[in-house]
A and B are shown apart, each in its own frame.
Chain A
Amino acid sequence: MSAVVIRALAAIRARPASTLITALGLFLAGAILGSAVTTREALGGGLERAQRAAQTADIVAHFDPVALDTLGPRLDAIANIADWSPRITARPVNIATRRADGPRRTGTAEVNGLLLDQPRGLLIVAGRGLSGREDEVVVERGLFTAWHLRLGQGLRLRGRSGPLFVRIVGVSIEPDVLAFPLASRPRIYLPYETVRNRISTARGRLPVTAVAINVTDRTRLAVTLAQLRAASFGLDRVTIQTRTGIRLAIDQASGLISSVIVAFAIVALVAALVMIAAAAYARVTRDLATIGTLRAIGVSNPVIAASYAIEVAAIAVVAIGAGVVAGSVAVAGQAAVLLESFNELPPPHPLGLGHALVASAAVAAAGMAAGAPALIAARRPVVELLRGAAIVRTGRAGVIGSPLLLGARLALSRPFRLAAAVVSIAGGIAVVLVMASLARTLVATQDNPQSLGVRYSLLVEDSPGALDAVRSTPGVAAAAIRYEALAVNAYDLGQPLRIVAFDAGRSGVFDGRPLLSGRRSLGPGEAEVGEGLASSLGLAEGQMLIAAAEGGGEVRLRIVGVVREPTNDGRVAYADATTLLAAQPGTAAQIAVRPTAGTSPEIVKERLAAQGITAVPTGGLVPSGASFVAAVVALLRAVAAVNGAGSVALTLLALVVLARERSETVAIVRAIGGSRRHVAMLLGGAGLVLMTLALVTAVVAQWLLLDPIIERLLGTYGVLDVSLDGRDLALTAVGAMLAAIASSLAVALRYSRITVRRALHAE
Chain B
Amino acid sequence: MRTEGPAATATVSARELRRVYGRGHAARAVLDSVSLAVGPGELVAILGPSGSGKSTLLNLLGGLDRPTAGEVVVNGQSLESLSEAALARFRRTTIGFVFQSFHLIPELSAWENVLLPARLARDRHGGRRRALALVETLGLGAVIGQLPIDLSGGERQRVAIARALVMDPPLVLADEPTGNLDAASGAVVIEVLANAVTAGRAVVLVTHDDRLARTAHRVIALRDGRLE
Query: Which A residues fall within an 8 A CB radius of B?
Result: 387-389, 391, 393-394, 397-398, 400, 403, 406, 409-410, 413-414, 664-665, 667-676, 678, 752-753, 755-758, 760
Contact = CB atoms under 8 A, between A and B. Distances in A.
Contacts of B89: 673, 675
A317 B175 CA distance: 45
A393 B109 contact: yes
Contacts of B85: 675-676, 752
Given A391-B106, A397-B112, A400-B119, 11 more contacts: A388-B149, A389-B149, A398-B109, A400-B112, A403-B120, A406-B119, A668-B105, A673-B167, A678-B120, A756-B64, A758-B65
B225 interface: no
A672 B97 CA distance: 7
A414 B116 CA distance: 19
A9 to B, nearest CB: 24
Contacts of B91: 671-673
B149 A673 contact: no
B111 A391 contact: no
Nearest to B107: A413
B59 interface: yes
Contact of A673 (B59, B117, B145): B117
A757 B99 CA distance: 11
A760 to B, nearest CB: 7
Nearest to B122: A402
B114 to A, nearest CB: 10
A757 B64 contact: yes
Interface in B92-130: 92-93, 95, 97, 99, 103-109, 111-112, 115-117, 119-121
A675 B90 CA distance: 10
Contacts of A668: 103-105
B84 A673 contact: no
B88 interface: yes
A671 B97 contact: yes
A265 to B, nearest CB: 38
Chain B, interface residues (CB within 8 Å), range: 35 or more
Contact of B64 (A398, A671, A753): A671
A689 to B, nearest CB: 13
A409 B116 CA distance: 13
Contacts of B167: 673
B108 A400 contact: yes
A673 B92 contact: yes
Contacts, number: 95
A269 B91 CA distance: 48
B66 interface: yes
Contacts of B121: 673
B132 to A, nearest CB: 11
Nearest to A755: B65
Contacts of B65: 755-758
A675 B103 contact: no
A624 B103 CA distance: 68
B66 A672 contact: no
Interface of B: 59, 64-66, 84-85, 88-93, 95, 97, 99, 103-109, 111-112, 115-117, 119-121, 145, 147, 149, 163, 167
Contacts of B119: 400, 406
Contact of B117 (A388, A394, A672, A755): A672
A701 B80 CA distance: 53
Given A668-B105, A675-B85, A757 B120 contact: no
B112 A398 contact: yes
Contacts of A675: 85, 88-89, 92, 120
Given A397-B109, A400-B115, A755-B64, A674 B88 contact: yes
B172 to A, nearest CB: 13
B88 A673 contact: yes
Contact of A672 (B116, B147, B149): B116
Nearest to A410: B107
Contacts of A678: 120
Given A388-B149, A668-B103, A676 B120 contact: no
Nearest to B117: A672
A362 to B, nearest CB: 35
A678 B103 CA distance: 18
A669 B113 CA distance: 10
A759 to B, nearest CB: 9
A672 B120 contact: yes
A734 to B, nearest CB: 29
With a 10 A CB-CB cut-off, give which of A387, A389, A673, A753 has the most chain B CB atoms.
A673
Contacts of A414: 107
A670 B90 CA distance: 11
Contact of B149 (A391, A406, A752, A753): A391
A398 B97 contact: no
A727 B84 CA distance: 42
Contacts of B64: 671, 755-757, 760
Nearest to A668: B103
Contact of B147 (A391, A398, A669): A391
A663 B91 CA distance: 19
Contact of A664 (B95, B97, B103, B145): B103
Q: Which 6 A-B pairs have the closest CB atoms?
A: A673-B92, A673-B91, A413-B107, A757-B65, A756-B64, A672-B117
Contacts of B66: 755
Contacts of B109: 393, 397-398
A674 B107 contact: no
A671 B103 contact: yes
Nearest to B110: A397
A670 B88 contact: yes
Contact of B120 (A391, A410, A664, A673): A673
Contacts of A755: 64-66
With a 10 A CB-CB cut-off, give which of B66, B89, B109, B167 has the most chain A CB atoms.
B109
Contacts of B149: 387-389, 391
A282 B207 CA distance: 36
A60 to B, nearest CB: 73
A570 to B, nearest CB: 65
Nearest to A403: B120
B145 A397 contact: yes
A671 B87 CA distance: 10
A669 B103 contact: no
Nearest to B104: A668
Nearest to A387: B149
Nearest to B83: A676
Nearest to A414: B107
A169 B119 CA distance: 85
A675 B89 CA distance: 6
A82 B105 CA distance: 84
A143 B112 CA distance: 77
10 contacts: A391-B106, A397-B109, A398-B115, A400-B119, A403-B120, A409-B107, A669-B120, A673-B93, A674-B88, A676-B88
Nearest to A389: B149
B202 to A, nearest CB: 17
Nearest to A388: B149
A538 B147 CA distance: 75
A685 to B, nearest CB: 12
Contacts of B97: 671-672
A658 to B, nearest CB: 14
Contacts of A758: 65
A392 to B, nearest CB: 9
A306 to B, nearest CB: 28
A743 B85 CA distance: 20
B92 A393 contact: no
B166 to A, nearest CB: 9
A461 B172 CA distance: 91
Nearest to B115: A400
A401 to B, nearest CB: 8
